[in-house]
Structures are given as C-alpha cells and as structure tokens.
C-alpha cells in the first residue's frame, strides 16, 4: 500500500472494509467509482478449511457510502481459488466477503446501516436516501424494511423493559384493502420512569383487541413477562383483561393522558347535563355554559385575564352551575397533581383528591363520582 493509496483509503474510509483503492473514476451520472483490492483475502476453503491456490480474479460491483454528496460504487477485485483437496466437494471458491457485503447483495453492509440510521435519526425520506446512494426507491425501501425487521427480532431489544405502555393508533384512514385500521402500539416507558431517556417503540400489532395484545404477550418468553411490573393503558377493558391473563405479576394502570382525558370527558358531560337542566336545550350561542366550553378544558395557568373573567361570569350565572364549578376544580386539581415536580408530592396530592371524591362529594355530582 502506497502513501497515496493509504491517504485515499482513510478519506474514503475503505480501510474499514479491509480493502485498498487502486484506481478511481467519475462517470457521466456523477457517480464515484472506486476500484479496490482485498488487503487480506481469506484463502481457506469454505467446505474443508484447506488453503486454496489462486486461480483468477472476478469483479464485483456494490454500492457504498456516498462521498461528498455523490453516490459511490465499489469495484472489488475478488480472488478465486481452487481447492487442492481431492476429497472436498468444492473445487473453486471465492474469497470470503461476508464482512463487507451480504451474499448477492447490491450494497455494502455499512450502507444498509447508513440508510436506516439516516431515516431514523435524521428523518431522511426513502427518496432522499435513494438519491444519496444512487439506488432505486424500491431497493432502498426493501433494504430499510429488512434491516428494521432484523433489529425488531433481536432479543436484546426487549431486555430491561419493566414498564410497558399500551395504546391504540389509527394508522389507516381509507376504506378497503382488508387491513385493520387500528394497531396496538407497545412502548417501553422504563427510561422515563428511571429518568435515563425518552420512551422507545417496542412493537406495533395489527388490531386493537384483547386477542391482539394477548397473542403478542404470549409470544414473548417467560423471562420478559416476569420482568414487566407495570402496564399503562387507556380505559379499554380488553387490554386490561389481556394484561391480567398474560402478566400475572404486572399491575395495570391508566396513564396520565387518558386519566386527564377521562376527567375532561366527565366535565363536559356535567356541563351538558346542567345546560339541559337550566336552559332546557343543547348549548347555543349566548348560553353561559356553552360560551365557556373550551375555556373549562384549558389549564387555569394558561388562561388570560379576559378568559378568567369570562369563566367566572359563566360559572356564576346560575346557582345550579355550582356542579360544573366543583367538577372544574377537581379537573384542575387532577392536572396539578400530575404536574408536581416531586413524585412524592404528586402522590400525596392525588391521594387527597381521590379521598375527597370518595367521601366528600355533595349530591348531584354523578360524573365526578365515576372518576373514583
């Protein structure tokens, strides 16, 4: 290896592949072509392990990492050997390239890694990635999907999951095709609980039923199921039943988002009931409660002085509006409990709030009573 080739290998990072550049060219499509030789080709026969005798060389072209924004092609000069073992079933074989490129693949292994990392970390589209490496959209999409499936199937990906989040997501908004419109999303919330990082996606399962979650949990090994301590979810009983049947050591809880959403729903139901009792009809423009329907659902710390005045005016417009005022106060206290920076203070605030709902509610607050 000359000093010039060593410099080129370092700049183009071909030294990481175990090859050295012998020549280079640029074609009419603005692609860089690097002609390389293996630095230390493996001469052992893949069948018997005996060292082979050099026969000839063949050229193999594969796509590699883009260089200064231009697609790159590696032309690998691959030695072919003959096996001298008469008892061996293999007569001619090539030097092993499995560390550089997969069998019959069009790209190097590190290019596949670069494509997937660019899509995940840099939010690069398939079209942009395809243009960067000089391959078709279908080829790049297939590479990314296969690499993602490989990562998803890795057992280490599920290691350390103790707090599992489960929720539904509507991913398809068109009819037909026969695929489920909803998927069950599973998220690892352990990093958030431990304060070590953000949550991470674990898997997405077609459907939003008890069977969808049960089948996924039962497909995991016993060590994973025993490690789960908490499963957060919405109010869907199917997820709760699946958790109870498949994870006997886990505790099912409703996550803060859905708890607050449920409280907001009860506040809306209370407002609508009082609206009917006082006005005899659904909300209309000019009705006190109808005019503050959105303000009621906003955190009090985010309200302007004008909104606070309108809120107070609407709640004081009728004596029967006191039910809405109490429900609104409980709704705000619930949000404040979750917003406590100290976890212990939040638990104490939530305990006092639940105790007040269980024992201290006046009559006529059926919606709030359901939160307890």
Q: CA distances (Å), 354 to each of 30, 54, 346, 358, 366, in order?
A: 68, 81, 12, 6, 15
How many angstroms separate the CA atoms of 104 and 98, rounded? 10
> Rounded CA gap, 267 and 329, in Å?
10
The contacts of residue 185 (CB under 8 Å, 6+ apart) are 165, 166, 167, 168, 169, 201, 204
Residue 372 is predicted with a pLDDT of 66
State residue 1's pLDDT score.
Answer: 57
What distance lies between CA 317 and its chain's CA centroid? 48
C-beta atoms surrounding 178 within 10 Å: 4
Q: Which residues contact 9 (CB under 8 A, 6 or more apart)?
A: 1, 15, 19, 20, 21
Positions of the chain with pLDDT lower than 70, given as ranges? 1-4, 176, 178, 372
- Cβ–Cβ < 8 Å for 161, 228: yes
Pull the structure tokens for residue 176: 């037909």
Residue pLDDT, tens place only, 172-186:
777 767 678 899 999
Q: Are 128 and 195 in contact (CB under 8 A)?
A: no
Query: How many C-beta atoms surround the C-beta of residue 249 within 10 A?
Result: 9
In this prediction, residue 126 carries a pLDDT of: 96
Q: For the chain, what are the domain ranges? A: 3-101, 109-153, 158-254, 257-369
- H or E, element range at 266: helix 256-279
**Rounded distance between C-alpha atoms, residue 239 and residue 275, angstroms:** 35
- Dist. CA 265–CA 296, nearest whole Å: 11
Q: Is 129 exposed, middle or buried (0-12, 13-18, 19+ CB in 10 A)?
A: buried
pLDDT at position 157 is 85
What does the mean pLDDT of the chain come to?
Answer: 90
Q: 106, 60 in Cβ contact below 8 A? A: no
pLDDT at 261: 93
- pLDDT tens string 189-207: 999 999 899 999 999 999 9
Q: Which pTM was predicted?
A: 0.68
Q: Are 217 and 198 in contact (CB under 8 A)?
A: no
Q: Cα 297–301–307 angle (5° rounding)?
A: 65
Q: For residue 27, count CB atoms less than 10 angstroms from its CB and return exposed for 0-12, middle for 13-18, buried for 19 or more.
A: exposed
């Amino acid at each position: 290896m000359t000093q010039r080739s060593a410099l080129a290998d370092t700049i183009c990072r071909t030294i990481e592949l175990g090859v050295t550049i012998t020549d280079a060219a640029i074609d009419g499509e603005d692609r860089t072509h690097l002609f390389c030789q293996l630095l230390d080709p493996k001469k052992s026969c893949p069948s018997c392990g005996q060292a082979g005798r050099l026969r000839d060389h063949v050229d193999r072209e594969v796509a590699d990492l883009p260089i200064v924004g231009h697609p790159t092609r590696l032309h690998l000069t691959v030695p072919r050997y003959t096996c001298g073992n008469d008892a061996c079933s293999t007569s001619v074989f090539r030097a092993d390239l499995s560390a550089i490129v997969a069998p019959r693949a069009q790209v190097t292994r590190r290019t596949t890694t670069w494509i997937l990392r660019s899509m995940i970390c840099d939010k690069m589209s398939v079209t942009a990635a395809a243009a960067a490496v000089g391959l078709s959209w279908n080829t790049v999409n297939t590479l990314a999907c296969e690499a993602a499936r490989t990562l998803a199937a890795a057992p280490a990906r599920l290691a350390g999951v103790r707090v599992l989040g489960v929720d539904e997501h509507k991913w398809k908004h068109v009819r037909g095709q026969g695929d489920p419109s909803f998927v069950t999303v599973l998220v690892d919330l352990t990093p958030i609980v431990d304060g070590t990082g953000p949550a991470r996606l674990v898997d997405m399962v077609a459907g939003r039923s008890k069977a969808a979650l049960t089948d996924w949990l039962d497909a995991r090994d016993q060590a994973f199921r025993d490690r789960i301590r908490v499963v957060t979810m919405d109010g869907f009983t199917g997820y709760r039943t699946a958790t109870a049947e498949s994870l006997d050591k886990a505790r099912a809880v409703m996550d803060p988002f859905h708890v607050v959403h449920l409280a907001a729903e009860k506040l809306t139901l209370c407002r609508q009931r009082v609206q009917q009792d006082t006005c005899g009809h659904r909300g209309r423009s000019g009705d006190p409660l109808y005019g503050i329907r959105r303000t009621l659902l906003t955190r009090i710390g985010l309200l302007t002085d004008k909104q606070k005045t309108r809120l107070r005016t609407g709640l004081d417009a009728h004596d029967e509006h006191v039910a809405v005022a109490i429900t609104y106060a409980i709704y705000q206290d619930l949000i404040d409990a979750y917003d406590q920076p100290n976890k212990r203070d939040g638990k104490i605030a939530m305990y006092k709030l639940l105790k007040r709902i269980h024992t201290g509610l006046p009559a006529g607050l059926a919606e709030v009573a359901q939160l307890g």
